[in-house]
Amino acid sequence: MKEQDMIHAAASTEKLNEALAHLNEAAKERREELQKLLAEKYTDLKAAFGGAAGASANWVKEGGREAGETAKLAASTVDHSLRKHPWYYVGGAAVCGLIIGLLINRPRGRHDAA
């Protein structure tokens, strides 16, 4: 059973890494499009914001890396906790469903007793 858990955790991590790689690629494409637009139409703005763009790109890259690490850690923690205490999560889901059901079925508006 432990081997299956490790295989599942590795597959989950692999899928998360693939998703982060796709997001990173999309961010690179958008950055290139923005740079192209600035080069074609707004040369003065490009000169003014060129240094800030480089700093912002580094800041975004670092933030993306940290977000990826945090997401991996959170996914790993939830996966471990879910496997260790599955009934807590089943109970939590049942309580959430009960609360949502009560909120959906509550009376709306005023009801006159007379």
Question: Is residue 21 situated within a structural domain?
Answer: yes
pLDDT tens by residue, 14-68: 877 888 888 788 777 777 777 777 677 666 655 666 666 666 777 778 888 888 8
**Length of the chain (residues):** 114
In a domain, 99, yes or no: no
Q: Is residue 114 part of a domain?
A: no
The number of folded domains in the chain is: 1
Give the sign of the dihedral formed by CA 65, CA 71, CA 74, CA 78.
negative
Say what the pTM is.
0.35
Residue 7 lies in a domain: yes
Which residues lie closer than 8 Å to 13 by C-beta, 6 or more apart?
Answer: 72, 75, 76
Q: Is residue 97 part of a domain?
A: no
* Contact between residue 83 and residue 5 where contact means Cβ atoms under 8 Å apart: yes
The answer to whether residue 93 sits within a structural domain is no
User: The domain containing residue 7 runs over which residues?
Assistant: 2-84
Q: Which residue has the tokens 């998360």?
A: 16
In a domain, 37, yes or no: yes
* Whole-number pLDDT of residue 98: 96
DSSP conformation class of 90: H
**Alpha carbon separation from 65 to 13, 46, 93 (Å, rounded):** 15, 26, 32
Establish if 18 belongs to a structural domain: yes
Residue 113 predicted with pLDDT over 60 = no
